[in-house]
Amino acid sequence: MSTLATAFTLLALLQSSKTDTPGPAALAFVGVHVLPMSEERVLRDQTVLVEGERIVRVGPVGEVQVPACATRVEGLGRFLAPGLIDSHVHLMDEGDLLVYLANGVTTVRNLKGLPWHLELRERIARGEVLGPHLVTSGPFVNEPRVHTVEDVQRAVAEQLVPATTASRSTASSRARPTKRCSRRPRWPGSRSSGTRRATCPWSGCSSSAGK
């Protein structure tokens, strides 16, 4: 089995353990090399026991007892590391979610948010879509929409709406980006003919997108 296929298999196990089991599901990674974040060393031939969303035990294979009800994943000497966080992404395509997961990214922070991202965040949380934990901002607060401190304060205030209102807006609009934006960066004051413009579905907002 390829590394990519193995990653998707493990992710499917994790996703099913969250959504199909009424109580905390047990998942055991057996015979893995662990990369701890506390020090620069490798913990070899370990068992990592997970219950629900928490790691409850890490120890040598011979010392950790795997519950009979646990889903057992044979590590076969592979390495196990904490999930990575990409803190600056522009998520414009749902297909990108699997790319993040395949590269070990289990949390992303999306900048330039749309109502579509709120809907997607809930679908991921419910287990309907396989993807990393999604944190998202509101729309861009940037030129040409804002020019002064007061403009910025007003733009931010417009985004402070009750969660119920945002949910209703999301459900009714089903807004999605109509174009896949250019990957070329666009800095304030620069000119880039390769950067497309996407209209934000929140009132009065139009912004440039790039990465």
> Is the domain covering 3-80 a CATH 3.50.50.60 domain?
no
Report the predicted TM-score, pTM, of the whole model to 2 decimal places: 0.61
- Give residue limits of the domains in the chain: 3-80, 84-177
Q: What is the pLDDT of residues 58-84, one digit of tens each?
A: 999 999 999 999 999 999 999 998 889
Q: Which of 133, 130, 14 is nearest to 73 (CA)?
A: 14
Q: Which of 139, 120, 155 is nearest to 202 (CA)?
A: 139
Confidence of residue 120 (pLDDT cuts 50, 70, 90): very high
Whether the predicted pLDDT of 136 surpasses 70:
yes
Residue bearing the bigger pLDDT, 187 or 171: 171
Residue bearing the bigger pLDDT, 90 or 196: 90
Confidence of residue 53 (pLDDT cuts 50, 70, 90): confident
Residue bearing the bigger pLDDT, 176 or 59: 59
Q: Is the dihedral of CA 99, 102, 103, 104 positive or negative?
A: positive
Whether the predicted pLDDT of 19 surpasses 80:
no
- Beta-strand relationship, 133-136 and 197-199: unpaired
Confidence of residue 161 (pLDDT cuts 50, 70, 90): low
Whether the predicted pLDDT of 94 surpasses 80:
yes
The one-letter amino acid code at 21 reads: T
- As a whole number, the mean pLDDT across the chain is 75
Per-residue pLDDT at 24: 65
Per-residue pLDDT at 5: 46
Q: C-alpha angle with apex 83: 81 to 87, nearest 5 degrees?
A: 140
Q: Rounded to whole angstroms, how far apart are CA atoms 146 and 199?
A: 15
3-class DSSP state of 149: helix
> Is the domain covering 84-177 a CATH 3.30.110.90 domain?
yes
Whether the predicted pLDDT of 132 surpasses 80:
yes
Q: Rg for the chain (alpha carbons), in Å?
A: 21
Do 43 and 36 contact (CB within 8 A), yes or no? yes
Q: Rounded to whole angstroms, how far apart are CA atoms 129 and 11?
A: 11
First to last CA, the chain: 34
Instruction: State the DSSP code for 191.
Output: -
* Both structure tokens of 201: 């579905």
For the chain, the maximum distance between any two Cα atoms, rounded to a whole number of angstroms, is 64
Query: Which residues, at least 6 apart from 34, have a Cβ–Cβ distance to it below 8 Å?
Result: 42, 43, 46, 48, 58, 79, 80, 81
